[in-house]
Amino acid sequence: MRNVTIDNVTDVVIESLGRHQEIPARQREIMESLIRHLHGFCKDVRLTHGEFLQACDYLGRAGAICSDKRQEFILLGDILGVEVLVDMLTNPIQGEETISTVLGPFFRENAPVMPKGATTVRKNFEGQETVFVEGYVRDVEGAPIAGAIIDIWEDAPNGLYENHDHDQPDYNLRGRFETDANGHYALRAIRPVPYPIPSDETAGELIRYMGHHSMRPGHLHMMVTRDGYRSLISQIYDSSSPHLDDDSVFAVKEALIGEFRKAPEGADTDLTLRFDFILPRAEAKRMAAE
């Protein structure tokens, strides 16, 4: 094609797919749609060459600040509502199972495996509120799931996750806990506080460009896994937290809002939180993929 025009450029690029090398059907599907939407977007807004160069510079800077401790592109996907959309597409609600929500950029693998009831607090902050968290993990018929792993992570009272804060000990406020024979789990942690997602770099530029704010409501991140069951990535939100209705990453779900209650007299934490999880059986096809 020697005469590419505004009218034919999209088809010309799509026709090039697989021209010199066979590509898998899924790859073709992704690229064809991406090209159509990307070209459509450029036409919609009449994107200028200057704006195109600005976008290239922006993406370059976003990539440059990624490291093993910072994943800027997940943040960008969160701010645009892409991660929550992809999560809903990947994990459609089928019945009574606990609803999932975004993983976010702060998860770290290999959190310490801890005994039932232990605390994830490795550094104390003034004004922190400790919480005893417990509940059951069950299947959709209500049978207990023993040996499920609850991987939990949260921000400190200064609003920072430990991997973004040099002053917190490694794996502070992170831990993995196993359910007992009754499917029961228990741990000690602190009440999570609302925090701004990192907005010092390109994520902040995007938030400001959108005229949005960067705040998230207080939440505990949880990942619940057990062989034979669908893995759950979710968050529990503090019912009394601000920003439940204007979360900067659009990840709040009504069913994930929990009550942090005042602990009974004599308890060794300030608060208690009860939250149960329901995991459906994994489908064979999905298990193979995982």
Q: Which CB, 104 or 183, lies closer to Fe ion?
A: 104
- Write down the least CB distance from residue 175 to Fe ion, Å: 16
Cα–Cα distance, 237 to 222 (Å, whole number):
11
- Write down the least CB distance from residue 187 to Fe ion, Å: 17
- Write down the least CB distance from residue 210 to Fe ion, Å: 19
- Write down the least CB distance from residue 174 to Fe ion, Å: 12
Q: Which CB, 10 or 168, lies closer to Fe ion?
A: 168
The token duo for 210 is: 């959108």
- Closest by CA to 224, choosing from 131, 98, 88, is 98
Q: Which CB, 104 or 175, lies closer to Fe ion?
A: 104
**DSSP 8-state assignment for residue 98:** P
Specify burial of residue 47 (Cβ count, 10 A radius: 0-12, 13-18, 19+).
Answer: middle
In contact, 272 and 254? CB cutoff 8 Å? no
Q: Which CB, 145 or 160, lies closer to Fe ion?
A: 160
**Can you give the binding site for Fe ion, defined by CB under 5 A?**
104
Instruction: Write down the residue that tokens 């592109």 correspond to.
Output: 73
Q: Which CB, 137 or 156, lies closer to Fe ion?
A: 156
- Write down the least CB distance from residue 102 to Fe ion, Å: 9
Cα–Cα distance, 235 to 233 (Å, whole number):
7
- Write down the least CB distance from residue 154 to Fe ion, Å: 7
Residue nearest to Fe ion (CB): 104
Specify burial of residue 37 (Cβ count, 10 A radius: 0-12, 13-18, 19+).
Answer: exposed
- Write down the least CB distance from residue 112 to Fe ion, Å: 19
Q: Which long-range contacts (CB under 8 A, 24 or more apart) does 53-62 make?
A: 58/202, 58/205, 61/201, 61/202, 62/201, 62/202, 62/203
Q: Which CB, 77 or 104, lies closer to Fe ion?
A: 104
Q: Which CB, 206 or 236, lies closer to Fe ion?
A: 236
β partners of residue 187:
133
252 three-class SS:
coil
